[in-house]
Structure 1
């Protein structure tokens, strides 16, 4: 069983139950698919460029010219919602929305085609249900005027119905391209029968009260996710079904909550840091850091394992995206590790463990998300995340030392001082970037959102002037990939925000708070339960949707029990990181497998010792609040 981000066009899967169209209809569908791809990819890539330009101009104007541009935030927000929806459309067309493929991977070719068909029909069902409410929401926003730009907010809100219609068209093209007409008709009839049955049971459902929460948000969501339906669409279907069938709340309210949740300006850091991560790989900045660490530590027993731990810590401070971190470090380091006799499975396990270790290292996207949904200072979270990452790195380093000593791993010749010094000089511009990013936020030069643009400009200049590696042909694919990944992440946040709002309105949050407050053992018991809960949530839902769903519910309880907000946030992120990178469910583990090109089975027997080391480090951080809060401004 696995949880992963499925890449590639699902139309590649052919089976008797999922036969593609042929002849003239097939050519027409291929043309429609290409047109829809251009309509989504070209503006999305240009929007990433526009966001970088707008925010960087805002920083220059405010900090250098001392004349703030009052329209920057409004323009950035307007462009951002369009970027999210177009990026979501690109991800849908590529089949790269986050999903669990537990049953899909185990099924034979025929059943795999059925699962793909069900996932597409379920996504279309949700899109069809929210298309008109999204249009109604955009129409109502026409009455609101943006103060700085003096234009209607409908220009911004129109992104929601436009994006939904675009994805709907892509879904229809996919259905007609991948399945026979008979299969499509059967799937649509089955979907209609399920919907009709639920409508017929509406009086019964309304009498169930809060039991509907289990039915829709546990049972229904669980079935959809296990069936391979993307997480965002699973959340959306459950929320719309719950509100439509058991309450009198209009669906337009959910659209408003989705819009509010996924378009918070702080979250604009997500696509910008994703793009920054791609730039550091493109410009060889990560390779320079790895080479310096290799020269410095390579002579120790298991030295390159220490290099992997340190390099992931440093790169995490640049990109903020774990997939980008691993993709930057592993290709530069793994060939040398293999030449020195390292076990392929152990390398994979350590790569996954370092992904979990560095979850709190700024600019972590999960920390940015926590700040956006809980109101905690992003600067405080960035400051607090550094030392816990070091603690977990030391825990992994101790395990590496013990295993290298026990196995008598071979040593390599010590690099000369001249080689170490030369590699340090080459790596200095790259090593400085994490500190530039952190200093810019802490010193007030730029916000957590704007600072990513400083990093992007810095990386581009370093690539052009210092490393002389900047392949312009890779820029456009990187921009499109940035939009697709960001759209997939942020659509989950939007759907999870609507779902969390539904849970809150039902009274579930107050019931949960009361139950957690009654736990014997007070703050210590609450922290222990939170660690276990977020390890499980991180493995199934991933960090970002889990924190959007449960952050607003649990952080007030932690505060009532006297737990510092920042301390609790750091512990929660560490716990989710363990779940995210632990098999059999953790999507991060399978990302590490793909990046290292190692079968998942090779690393399973090795990874548990590393996860145990990370768990011990997490408990230590939870037990000693100073590790998280000691350097915060008082």
Structure 2
């Protein structure tokens, strides 16, 4: 009964127009008050959720993404990707996907990816003759690679909540991220051939070489980050600091697009971009505590164990359940509410922490694509100047679901690299 009251309060406050984070805090406070529990516990939960050394990596990687965008890294990566595959049918759309793979090794943020690349590529694709819904759909879907290929901000949050090795999650995401890249490239190629989308001009080696040399310093960033973690030289949090310093080096020394005057605006943008996820983390912790008080976790345990004792089927149920949750709830909020409930269940099934973590991350990132709440689709459709319900995204959602199923069926995809390098 208490669980029903808590969710009723949440839905009611949302219907009044409150943001999700505010609704979670208010509903949690009201639920605890009705249960005659001290509300000041919520303040401790709010502060305790973000008072974490591990979570310090989040603002550093967000700042690194902002710095990379301002330093010209995104443009140089797009130019290099265009030289490699821009001559193919639907070349600009395929460049969109390849550039996301390159950019993922630096930003760790799907939102940063879709915002930076979308502003450059969506208008260009529309001008070249691509349909606006397709241009927005490709950009939004490709950005998901940034949350699966390391370094990933959502992996850092997941690891801090569940005490899963963040380095293990980083290395475990490499193979699924590459598989997703291949799936997206194939879908883009098939749709481009069917719809007659244009192809660009093939670049000669003489044209490609200077572009490649210009992009190499940027492409070295993931090697620096993962190499430091692999050899035990830095923690993921310290790797975020290194990413910031390296980005500033690229922007001020290599590409010379960051000036002392622009540094202040970079810090302002980073602070604003950091405040949103950190507030969501804090508010979700309060709601998660309220759920725990109601006994929702025990209820979920009984329901799931009653449905199946098969670990693979449990993972498939998780994938579909979180996909449904993502239709209505922002991904970080969904992570912080449902991960503390599902992760202990996965351990009881004997599922490796890294495998289950990556499954949940893939499932949660699907929610950033699905209308009406999908953040990446909203950003891309806004840039393309179309309604979010018109975005051509469902072929790509099917591909991401397929990656989730592969993670559930084949543990080696996520466990091979962590067991080898960590």
Give the TM-score normalised by the residue count of structure 2. Answer: 0.95
Distance 1:226 1:352, change over 3 A: farther
Q: Within the alignment, does 1:591 sit opposite 2:407 as a pair? A: no
Q: Is the contact between residue 378 and residue 388 of structure 2 (CA under 8 Å) also seen in structure 1?
A: no
Q: Is the contact between residue 107 and residue 146 of structure 2 (CA under 8 Å) also seen in structure 1?
A: no
By how many angstroms is 1:374 displaced? Answer: 0.3
2:47 aligns to what? 259
Q: Within the alignment, does 1:411 sit opposite 2:199 as a pair? A: yes
For residue 144 of structure 2, give the secondary structure of its aligned residue in structure 1: helix
**Equivalent of residue 242 in structure 1, options 17, 31, 37:** 31
1:476 aligns to what? 264
C-alpha distance in 2 between matches for 1:283 and 1:424:
17
1:215 aligns to what? 5
- Structure 1 residues 263-297: Cα deviation after superposition (integer angstroms, max 9, x where no partner): 21211112111111111111101111110110111
Q: Is the contact between residue 369 and residue 393 of structure 2 (CA under 8 Å) also seen in structure 1?
A: no
C-alpha distance in 1 between matches for 2:370 and 2:259:
35
By how many angstroms is 1:381 displaced? Answer: 0.5
- Structure 1 residues 283-329: Cα deviation after superposition (integer angstroms, max 9, x where no partner): 10111111011011111111222211111122122112222112222
**Structure 2, unaligned runs of 5 or more:** none
C-alpha distance in 2 between matches for 1:601 and 1:495:
27
2:18 aligns to what? 229
Matches within 5 A, 1:192-203: none
Distance 1:364 1:227, change over 3 A: farther
Matches within 5 A, 1:354-373: 354-373=142-161
C-alpha distance in 2 between matches for 1:602 and 1:496:
27
For residue 390 of structure 1, give the secondary structure of its aligned residue in structure 2: helix
C-alpha distance in 2 between matches for 1:523 and 1:458:
42
> Comparing both chains, which one has the higher relative contact order based on Cα–Cα distances under 8 Å and sequence gaps of 6 or more?
2
1:614 aligns to what? 400
Q: Is the contact between residue 372 and residue 389 of structure 2 (CA under 8 Å) also seen in structure 1?
A: no
1:510 aligns to what? 298
By how many angstroms is 1:602 displaced? Answer: 7.5
Distance 1:322 1:445, change over 3 A: same
Distance 1:602 1:375, change over 3 A: closer
C-alpha distance in 2 between matches for 1:335 and 1:525:
43
Q: Is the contact between residue 519 and residue 525 of structure 1 (CA under 8 Å) also seen in structure 2?
A: no
1:500 aligns to what? 288
Q: Within the alignment, does 1:328 sit opposite 2:116 as a pair? A: yes
By how many angstroms is 1:521 displaced? Answer: 5.4
Q: Is the contact between residue 539 and residue 576 of structure 1 (CA under 8 Å) also seen in structure 2?
A: no
Q: Is the contact between residue 301 and residue 411 of structure 1 (CA under 8 Å) also seen in structure 2?
A: yes
* Structure label with greater radius of gyration: 1
- Structure 1 residues 58-93: Cα deviation after superposition (integer angstroms, max 9, x where no partner): xxxxxxxxxxxxxxxxxxxxxxxxxxxxxxxxxxxx
C-alpha distance in 1 between matches for 2:195 and 2:22:
48
For residue 177 of structure 2, give the secondary structure of its aligned residue in structure 1: helix
By how many angstroms is 1:407 displaced? Answer: 2.8
Backbone CA RMSD of aligned residues: 1.7
C-alpha distance in 2 between matches for 1:213 and 1:478:
43
2:163 aligns to what? 375
Aligned residues: 420
Distance 1:598 1:435, change over 3 A: farther
C-alpha distance in 2 between matches for 1:244 and 1:364:
37
Matches within 5 A, 1:260-339: 260-339=48-127
Distance 1:356 1:603, change over 3 A: farther
By how many angstroms is 1:445 displaced? Answer: 1.7
Q: Is the contact between residue 370 and residue 377 of structure 2 (CA under 8 Å) also seen in structure 1?
A: yes
Distance 1:597 1:400, change over 3 A: closer
- Structure 1 residues 525-580: Cα deviation after superposition (integer angstroms, max 9, x where no partner): 21121111211223322222211111121111111112111111111111111111
Give the TM-score normalised by the residue count of structure 1. Answer: 0.64
Q: Is the contact between residue 316 and residue 362 of structure 1 (CA under 8 Å) also seen in structure 2?
A: yes
- Structure 1 residues 4-58: Cα deviation after superposition (integer angstroms, max 9, x where no partner): xxxxxxxxxxxxxxxxxxxxxxxxxxxxxxxxxxxxxxxxxxxxxxxxxxxxxxx
C-alpha distance in 1 between matches for 2:384 and 2:262:
22
- Structure 1 residues 491-525: Cα deviation after superposition (integer angstroms, max 9, x where no partner): 22112112212222332212211211121352122
C-alpha distance in 2 between matches for 1:537 and 1:601:
18
Q: Is the contact between residue 289 and residue 311 of structure 1 (CA under 8 Å) also seen in structure 2?
A: yes
Q: Is the contact between residue 132 and residue 384 of structure 2 (CA under 8 Å) also seen in structure 1?
A: no
**Structure 1, unaligned runs of 5 or more:** 1-210
Matches within 5 A, 1:452-467: 452-467=240-255
Q: Is the contact between residue 91 and residue 198 of structure 2 (CA under 8 Å) also seen in structure 1?
A: no
Distance 1:603 1:530, change over 3 A: same
